[in-house]
Chains A and B, each alone.
Chain A
Amino acid sequence: SQKIEQNSEALNIQEGKTATLTCNYTNYSPAYLQWYRQDPGRGPVFLLLIRENEKEKRKERLKVTFDTTLKQSLFHITASQPADSATYLCALEDGGSNYKLTFGKGTLLTVNP
């Protein structure tokens, strides 16, 4: 069966460190992989999209990698700040799914001052 797993439900790190979140999937052939941020009681906010033929994407302090052989994406936040505390969601778009996203459960990141 198809599965998307985000490495842990919660991750606590110290301010200034790099946060690394993991997304693993099975029985998918994603054409695109996306990362979203969600704050309590709010809708998800789009952060980054990476295509199946791309290895890495960066945006300011954010970096995403995509390894279709390992079936894994890593999401990094460098120089983390307390304001980065939120739930981060990984979402896959299967090839030909016409923009339907399948989400993981998310990882709650807490950055301690």
Chain B
Amino acid sequence: DAGVTQSPTHLIKTRGQHVTLRCSPISGHKSVSWYQQVLGQGPQFIFQYYEKEERGRGNFPDRFSARQFPNYSSELNVNALLLGDSALYLCASSPRTHEQYFGPGTRLTVT
């Protein structure tokens, strides 16, 4: 079975631009979560979606938004990029249990 996939793998953007990151969960998983991981830190929770509804939001500004589609894939959008948004963005899917299965991440660099 394919694991969680994310695209793109790497991205370079300029301050002020907008970015869209994509995630496809493991087949059968209806829950998708997004995390931001900066170098030297653990992942930090951004959003969780289940059955296309937002179930949780972390302490991130409104520039961050997400959605989940009928096929359970998900997009994370970040507007008005700042240098501090440079990080590894991780998507995780979960069956109806508590462990999460992470994708390889998208490395975003903002210059």
Binding site for B on A (CB under 8 A): 4, 32, 34, 36, 41-46, 49, 89, 91, 93, 97-106
Whether A105 contacts B41 in the complex (CB less than 8 A), given A42-B105, A44-B90, A98-B56, comes out as yes
Inter-subunit contact B102/A99 (CB<8 Å): no
A98 interface neighbour in B35, B55, B103, Cβ under 8 Å: B55
A93 to B98, CA, bound (A): 9
CB–CB A98/B90 < 8 A: no
CB <8 Å contact, B42 and A103: yes
Contact A43 B42 (CB under 8 A): no
Q: A42, A43, A46, A103: which contacts B99 (Cβ < 8 A)?
A: A46
Identify whether the interface residues of B are mostly helix, strand, loop, or mixed.
strand
Q: B42's contact among A41, A45, A89, by CB below 8 Å, is which?
A: A89
Name B residues whose Cβ lies closer than 8 Å to a Cβ of A. Answer: 4, 31, 33, 35, 40-45, 48, 50, 55-56, 58, 90, 92, 94, 98-105, 107
Q: A99-B56, A103-B35 are in contact. List 6 more A-B contacts (CB 8 A).
A: A44-B90, A98-B55, A99-B31, A99-B94, A100-B58, A103-B42
Interchain CB contact under 8 A, A43 and B105:
yes
Given A43-B90, A43-B105, A46-B99; A100-B41 close (CB under 8 Å):
no
- Assembled-state Cα–Cα distance A54/B101 (Å): 23
Shortest Cβ distance from residue B4 to the other chain A in the assembled complex, whole angstroms: 7
| 29 cross-chain CB contacts under 8 A | A34-B98, A43-B102, A43-B103, A43-B104, A44-B43, A44-B102, A45-B102, A46-B99, A49-B98, A49-B99, A89-B42, A93-B98, A97-B56, A99-B31, A99-B33, A99-B48, A99-B56, A99-B98, A100-B48, A100-B58, A101-B43, A102-B45, A103-B35, A103-B43, A103-B44, A104-B42, A105-B41, A105-B42, A106-B42
